[in-house]
């Protein structure tokens, strides 16, 4: 029946083709027309899905803190009034620039691996909190470009963090138990943020765009906030694990000649993710696994005198640096929930490690030194 239907369609196309066109040209024209229609429908679906998510985000914020949303609606109205005035008096425009609420600049977003330059100051008094309320950008999540698609979840999560700070300062009443009732909105918002960061890390641009710094800023604040992190990780843990794996692979597989600045930026983000104890333990396991596998591959290549991946050899040192930073932070903290971090991966990593170091130390002294340093940090954590 399918063959007969295809044959009938072919005859119909041949009989209906316009004069001056071959059957092949007419078929290609029809295929292009249908694909354009499909693209148009897909775009409409994406727009509608974005609008649904925007409405659900606004509804969730309103349920958590109705007063916050009411105050921001007033601010949106006054902002429209100011916009009208600025068109008359353009000299006042510079003082009214929209503030993202995230004190990060392109070049000084990070001090070193695992350390952030004033993402947000933890000390907020009541007056500062009221000032923040006036500065939070309008929730405008109806976006199209890649940059704007990253900005959309950032704005929503910024507002969520701001409600948290204002409620902590006593300015607002907020009910964060509402987060338990709407896993769809939280999961989709965080997923959009992580997917957006992954896209830009895969094709980095320098200097680092401000929206990328803001995205990292919001993500780190979200997972380190004592009240919000549990809600977020409960719904988005698998997505966070996928994000960490993607960043590790971006580091290992990057073969660009001028890749080191980009890899340093990715490494910093991974180090910052390790600020959360739950994410840190799983991240240590992932890094140990990648380093162990490469060490075994390098040993095998050395023993049979075969070629090894020199680019991956260079990139693996970024994983070493992240591991050292995370393990040092782990051993320095006194309130560690589980001293035996790493689990099975730690056992696999330490097994036969002395033999690997012994065989590789002459040909790859720096690699062997880093292996030894990581093993020392692992053992020191176990002794504590």
Predicted confidence band at 144 (pLDDT cuts at 50, 70, 90)? very low
Domain segments of the chain: what residues? Answer: 144-275, 280-329+341-383
Predicted confidence band at 87 (pLDDT cuts at 50, 70, 90)? very low
CA distance 365 to 55: 57
Residue 168: its pLDDT value, please? 86
Q: What is the largest CA-CA distance in the chain?
A: 85
Q: What is the pLDDT of residues 281-300, one digit of tens each?
A: 999 999 999 999 999 999 99
Helix locations, the chain, DSSP H: 2-16, 23-64, 66-88, 126-135, 146-168, 183-202, 210-224, 229-253, 260-273, 277-303, 310-332, 343-350, 353-360, 365-383
Residue 111: its pLDDT value, please? 41
Residue 175: its pLDDT value, please? 87
Say if residues 261 and 222 touch (Cβ distance below 8 Å).
no
Predicted confidence band at 331 (pLDDT cuts at 50, 70, 90)? low
In percent, how much of the chain has pLDDT > 90?
A: 36
Q: What is the pLDDT of residues 17-53, one digit of tens each?
A: 888 888 888 888 888 888 777 777 777 888 888 889 8
Q: What is the pLDDT of residues 156-166, one digit of tens each?
A: 999 999 999 98
Q: Choose the weakest-confidence range: 98-102, 156-160, 203-207.
A: 98-102
Residue 198: its pLDDT value, please? 92
CA distance 57 to 70: 15
Say if residues 101 and 158 touch (Cβ distance below 8 Å).
yes
The token pair that represents 224 in the structure block: 């380190």
Q: What value, to the nearest 5°, has the Cα angle with vertex 368 and ends 362 and 374?
A: 165
CA distance 240 to 204: 20
121, pLDDT greater than 70: no
302, pLDDT greater than 80: yes
182, pLDDT greater than 60: yes
64, pLDDT greater than 60: yes
Say if residues 330 and 341 touch (Cβ distance below 8 Å).
yes
Owner of token pair 């070049």: 107
pTM metric for this prediction: 0.72
Residue 170: its pLDDT value, please? 83
137, pLDDT greater than 90: no
Residue 316: its pLDDT value, please? 96
Predicted confidence band at 209 (pLDDT cuts at 50, 70, 90)? confident
Higher pLDDT pick, 145 / 77: 145
Average pLDDT, the chain: 78
Higher pLDDT pick, 224 / 82: 224
Predicted confidence band at 173 (pLDDT cuts at 50, 70, 90)? confident
């Amino acid at each position: 029946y399918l063959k007969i239907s295809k044959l009938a369609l072919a005859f119909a196309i041949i009989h209906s083709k316009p004069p001056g066109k071959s059957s092949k040209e007419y078929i290609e024209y029809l295929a292009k027309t249908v694909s354009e229609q499909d693209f148009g429908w897909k775009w409409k679906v994406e727009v509608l899905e974005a609008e649904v998510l925007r409405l659900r985000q606004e509804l969730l914020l309103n349920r958590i803190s109705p007063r916050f949303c009411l105050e921001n609606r007033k601010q949106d109205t006054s902002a429209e009034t100011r916009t009208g005035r600025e068109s008359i008096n353009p000299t006042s425009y510079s003082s009214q620039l929209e503030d993202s609420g995230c004190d990060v600049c392109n070049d000084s977003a990070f001090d070193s691996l695992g350390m952030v330059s004033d993402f947000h100051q933890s000390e907020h008094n009541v007056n500062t909190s009221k000032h923040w309320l006036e500065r939070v950008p309008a929730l405008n999540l109806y976006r199209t470009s890649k940059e704007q698609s990253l900005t959309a979840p950032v704005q929503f999560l910024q507002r969520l963090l701001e409600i948290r700070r204002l409620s902590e300062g006593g300015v607002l009443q907020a009910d964060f138990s509402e987060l338990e009732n709407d896993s769809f909105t939280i999961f989709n918002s965080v997923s959009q943020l992580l997917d957006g960061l992954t896209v830009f890390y895969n094709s980095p641009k320098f200097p680092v765009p401000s929206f990328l710094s803001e995205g990292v800023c919001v993500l780190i604040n979200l997972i380190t906030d004592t009240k919000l992190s549990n809600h977020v990780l409960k719904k988005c843990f698998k997505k966070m694990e996928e994000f960490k794996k993607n960043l590790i692979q971006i580091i290992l597989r990057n073969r660009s000649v001028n890749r080191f600045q980009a890899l340093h930026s990715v490494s910093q983000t991974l180090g910052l993710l390790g600020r959360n104890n739950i994410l840190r333990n799983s991240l240590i396991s992932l890094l140990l696994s990648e380093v162990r596998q490469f060490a075994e591959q390098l040993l095998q290549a050395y023993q049979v005198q075969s070629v090894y991946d020199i680019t991956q050899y260079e990139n693996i040192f970024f994983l070493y640096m992240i591991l050292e930073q995370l393990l040092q932070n782990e051993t320095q903290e006194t309130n560690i929930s589980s001293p035996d971090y790493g689990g099975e991966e730690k056992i696999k990593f330490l097994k036969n490690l002395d033999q690997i170091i012994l065989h590789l130390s002459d040909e790859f002294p720096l690699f062997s030194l880093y292996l030894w340093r990581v093993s020392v940090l692992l053992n020191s954590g176990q002794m504590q």
